[in-house]
Homo-oligomer: A and B are copies of this chain.
Amino acid sequence: MDLHFETISGVGALMRAGEVTSTELTELMLARIDALDPQLNAFITVTADSALDRARLADDELRRGVDRGPLHGIPIAVKDLFATAGVRTTGGSKLHEHWIPDHDATAVRKLTEAGAVLLGKTGLHELAYGVTSINPWFGAIHNPWATSCDPGGSSGGSAVAVAAGMAYAALGTDTGCSVRQPAHCCGIVGHKPTFGLVSKAGVLDLVWSMDHVGPLARSVDDAAVVLDAIAGPDRCDPYSSGADQRDTFRSGVHSLAGTMVGVVRHHFFDGHGDVIGVVDAALDSLRSQGATLVELDITDITEAGAAIDCISAEAAVLHRRDLHERPEAFSDEVRGKLENDQAISVTDYIAAQHFRRGFTSRVERLFDECDVMATPTATIVAAPIDDRPADYRYHATKNTSIFDFTGHPSVSVPCGFTDTGLPVGLMFTGAMFDDRGVLGMARAFEQTTGWHLEHPPL
């Protein structure tokens, strides 16, 4: 396999065997970025010099016997929504185009402490408030499987960096779909952890009660390695669960035989036939490996969609001052959305939050009847940048946003391709704080199918 498409454990083993250095891996990634990114536009900022410094330090440490674990010396990328000390952090917005934070977001600091090498900051939808990665200030990002297509969003740059072999893993954020749907569009793994499991301190907020930080990677184990590094309580984040998560998320072995997989066809399987066909075949594969599929139902799912729209009013709070003082620093699209959010009534918002409590409890109870749920990640594939279907936003977000709303852990894993050669993701969702179980199921599926070994021809 090409070294740039290796797994983290693969290059880690090579590094520890003395066959490659972190510096060489970093140079390889930087060369890939130089070669491919003029076309793909995954990065807003490339931190080549500091990356090489950090890689040399990692090599030095390893020579001296200091091993920080599986991320030691591994080049990674971070969505430009995470504060990085001394490195411009734009949020994909004109508002922050000149902002150079004096601190790292907690997740970035933890990755650095774990030895990871930051290659740069990846592009995204303006302020992460959208389902594509078409950005009026930093340009559109291109899908490596079909460069006329969008890679999904808002964490499109992170997804493209990983899918195209320009980074071994990346951080994204997921408020409605923004880790898992780009993972689906780009044929990689994207995990949205349980709400509160990973600190959001130092990440530009979008919708407080729905924002999540999560990893994008080329295998479930690689995603789990990143999650291991970033999970855990953080007093700097009032939304941190406080629950200390001492489990490792790696190498949880799940046998598909005997596993109860919940399937909610209503809502989750309403979508474009090409995607549904691929996911149905994936369900057949689960069944043939011994999993038992259980048809389940979630009531009130239409009301949940309406409630999610009300809860986006939170975005208007964060930007109310800038909307008033610097309206020209927003695109018409995002300004329009924020103005709509401001017009939501307080009683509708509160009713939505109240509904959310009961709905979340009802979803949690489903996991008494199954180990995990399996659904399409999205019910539409990556769309042409210049020609998105009218129902794109609906089909790109309706399955993922439900679990941003409830907070349940949810991972998208590659499960095949449509006839047009675009990737499709299968999403496993589990009970609150059962990130390990969800990743374990995704790993078992991945190992029996091998779809994650397909890479774009770049």
Contact = CB atoms under 8 A, between A and B. Distances in A.
A354 B349 CA distance: 14
Contacts of A348: 346
A435 to B, nearest CB: 18
B238 A357 contact: yes
Given A235-B361, A238-B361, A361-B238, A208 B354 contact: yes
A347 interface: yes
Nearest to A347: B317
Indicate how many identical chains form the complex. Answer: 2
Contacts of A208: 350, 354, 357
A345 B354 CA distance: 17
A361 B240 CA distance: 10
A208 B355 CA distance: 11
A346 B316 contact: yes
A347 B316 contact: yes
A313 interface: yes
Contact of A346 (B238, B344, B354, B365): B344
Interface of A: 208, 235, 238-239, 313-314, 316-317, 320, 342, 344-351, 354, 357-358, 360-361, 365
17 contacts: A208-B350, A208-B357, A235-B361, A238-B354, A238-B358, A238-B361, A239-B357, A313-B346, A313-B350, A316-B347, A316-B350, A317-B347, A342-B346, A342-B347, A346-B346, A346-B348, A349-B349
A-B pairs with lowest CB-CB distance, top 9: A238-B357, A238-B358, A346-B346, A317-B347, A317-B350, A313-B346, A346-B349, A238-B361, A317-B351
